[in-house]
């Protein structure tokens, strides 16, 4: 019987295909990124290594950071430089500030809430940050004996038109409480609670 030769085929990688067929593979002096120029550090997420290529891509800024000050509802005054905010029923939330933006697909958003004031009772009121209906951060409790800054910050992946809100929560199970915000002069409008939201596309 005659011998039949069946040579193993010589293969090479192609940038347009992920096929990796059996056979002898031709080398490329320029490496894998010589086969496909898209295998570049700035196309790979920062800190991720693919075939020995360490990524440096950190995202493209697709929206400016935006924010605004929505003063708390003035229900009266307390002292010379305080304005009483809305009534917060037992175990309830009251929205103090909200912001709706349209986010690009696969956006990572970051939100920050800043408030300066005090509570009608110590350890009863806390700031919360909601992004797309999900609570992502909460402050420590406001004191009633002194004014203080409260800052909360959180992140969440968002897409499309989404509302983010700054909320005050009353942890008292039986008594309505109030947040006293600071005013610059007697009977002036309160500074309010500042909500800032920005995002980058991942």
Of 40, 58, 76, the residue at which a domain comes to its end is: 58
* 79 lies in the same domain as 137: yes
Question: CA–CA separation, 144 vs 45, rounded Å?
Answer: 47
Q: Quick one: 31 and 83 in the same domain?
A: no
Q: What is the sign of the dihedral through the CA atoms of 177, 181, 183 and 189?
A: negative
Share of the chain above pLDDT 70, in %: 78
Both tokens of residue 113?
């809430």
CA atoms within 13 A on the CB side of 115: 33
14, 79: one domain: no
Do 29 and 100 reside in the same domain of the chain?
no
Identify the bridge partners of residue 130 per DSSP, sorted by sequence position.
135, 165
- Residues of the domain holding 132: 66-201
- Same domain? 106 vs 36: no
User: How many domains does the chain divide into?
Assistant: 2
Q: Is the pTM of this model over 0.75?
A: no
Residues 149 and 188 in one domain: yes
Reported as a single tens digit per residue, the pLDDT across 140-155 is 999 998 888 899 999 9
Whether residues 117 and 169 share a domain: the answer is yes
pLDDT tens profile 12-69:
878 787 787 887 778 787 778 777 888 888 888 888 888 888 888 876 555 554 555 4
In the chain, count H helices and then E strands.
1, 12
153/81 same-domain check = yes
Token pair recorded at residue 154: 């959180």
Same domain, 44 and 74: no
Same structural domain, 122 and 153: yes
How high is the pLDDT of residue 71? 47
Which of these, 167, 133, 135, lies nearest to 150 by C-alpha position? 167
């Amino acid at each position: 019987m005659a011998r039949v030769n069946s040579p193993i085929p010589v293969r090479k990688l192609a940038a347009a295909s992920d096929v990796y067929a059996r056979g002898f593979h031709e080398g490329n002096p320029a490496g894998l990124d010589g086969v496909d120029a898209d295998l570049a550090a700035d196309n790979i997420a920062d800190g991720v290594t693919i075939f020995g290529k360490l990524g440096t891509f950190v995202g493209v800024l697709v929206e400016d950071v935006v924010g605004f000050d929505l003063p708390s509802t003035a229900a009266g005054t307390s002292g010379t430089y305080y304005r009483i905010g809305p009534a917060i029923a037992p175990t309830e939330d009251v929205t103090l500030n909200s912001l709706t933006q349209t986010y690009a697909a696969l956006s990572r958003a970051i939100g920050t809430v800043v408030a300066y004031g005090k509570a009608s009772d110590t350890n009863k009121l806390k700031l919360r940050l909601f992004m797309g209906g999900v609570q992502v951060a909460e402050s420590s409790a406001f004191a009633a004996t002194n004014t203080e800054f409260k800052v909360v910050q959180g992140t969440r992946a968002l897409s499309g038109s989404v509302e983010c809100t700054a909320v005050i929560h009353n942890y008292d199970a039986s008594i309505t409480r109030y947040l006293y915000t600071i005013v610059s002069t007697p009977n002036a409008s309160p500074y309010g609670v500042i909500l800032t939201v920005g995002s980058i596309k991942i």
